[in-house]
Chains A and B, each alone.
Chain A
Amino acid sequence: MRPPASQVLFGMFMRFTAMSEESADDFARGELRILGIFAALLGVEAERAAAVRVAEIEALRPLLTRGVGVVPHELSAQLQAALDETAGSGRPEELAVSALEARMSRLQEGFVQLQAWLEEHAADDAARELLADCWAELHASVARKAFPLP
């Protein structure tokens, strides 16, 4: 069994923190402390990076799909383009965090446009219903990504 990256990085955090405390030099102490925090953050990020992005993608795609049928043609075409570009083909490289990040960002761009339009047209029943679900997704997204302060 291989040790998880988060464990290795947390070990680095402990190491840097210990070195920082032993350093007599202000500059070195400050830099080592930051390196330690950085390693700890990487450790946490390594654990959640892919999972958060996959969850975000899976939540956004159905909302944009519904949006295609609600918004005017021009925006609808933009949402459809975002859906097409992020459909995924199942290739292993799509699981890279950077690839997941790109897909998530593309869908979030569409989501921002969709929600802005829905807010302006909330008098319409279909828009209001979808807008409520957009707000629900924003709350879910915040909960998914909330990161405790160190």
Chain B
Amino acid sequence: MKQFRAYLVCFVLLVVTFNIVLFTGFSFAQKKTTLTVWCWQYQKGCIDTVLQDFYKANPGIEIQFRILNPGDLYQNLLLALSAGEGAPDITAVESSHLARYVEMEGLADITDNAKRYYHMFNRYKWADATKDGKIYAMPWDSGPVALYYRRDIFEKAGYKSDPDSIAKLLNTWEDYYKVAKVIKDKTGAYMFSHAKANNDGRTFEMLLWQQRLWYFDKNGKVTIDHPLAVKTLEYLGRFWKENLTEDTQPWTPGWYAGIKDGKVATIIGAVWMGGFMYGWIAPDAVGKWGVVPLPVWRATDVRTANDGGSNLAITVQCKDKESAWKFIEFITARKESQVAAWRKDDSFPSFEPAYSDPIATEPSPYFGGQAYRKVFVDLVKQIPPIAYTKDYTEANSILTAEIATYATGKKTASQALKDAATRIRQRTKRP
């Protein structure tokens, strides 16, 4: 019996040791790097199109994704970077929020790796990704803005609905306003959607951007109360006063329904809006939409602006920055990756070599046979280089409140923007 027991003990010890060796040996042999990535569901979808290719090319890297809503991502990232722990290795960040994280020194300096790509991306995207000559993020997708229009509504109002005719028809914003009245009369449709109280200010921002105006000028001075900005706001005011816009809060079921049911004739929106429309907002409206460049006020304005657009960055808390670089390079600076995302969701590449892909000139049944992507490719190169700056989120929230006071008739446009400027100066300590 004693002998049997001795053999049993030896056997158990052997098995245990074997397992330990196996386990640790296994993990020693296959030392995989795990990278954590924070992004939105939409961005994950874009990444998924080439994720397997990435794994094939980089067998030693494993990625753990955490999907977050934009608001949660930005707040959690802010707090984690401030705390010095809890941040992911890689994060997606919109250009509008990027400068803040650069400013707080939360993102890793990738200049050495990135500079060889500098001339291959939309130039204006670098404004928020760089600081003092160093690069902190790789541009991913851009948000060139154009005018989407409903062909059938314009036809009903008696206009020719092909893109060239519409572009001529809506040459200036005054033309746009006149046509808005006609459309409202003849079809009952609103020209576009702009909430009075709960607006997000983005339309106004686009209209400023195309005039090379912004919250701040190149010296950092607050310029939201510039006379031209006041004029622009008063222009929007005409639509509110004369009931030519749909008063619905953006990104709500009512707003989606307005687009789907043809209650609005146009959308002043970025390229990704098209993807949303045929993807899930109004997938049945095949053939009903078209795209033209924005109207302008004067010859010096550009017919586009930027709205949205993301970047990929490595945080300073990343322990394996070389592997992280491989990932963001693969997703952003690789033509195949960008084209795949473009094809899937109309995630418009910031990487210019992608524009030579045939998808750019493919006619789209949804947009009535128009090669609408080409419109954006032509427009993106004209976007004036304006930086969102690190104070964008706060400035935007202050502005939207003031726009609401103007839209609901509580203040004049000039007073509203003046108050916005004052508060922005107070909170951001800018001149």
A, B: real partners: no
- Chain A interfacial positions (CB closer than 8 Å to B): none
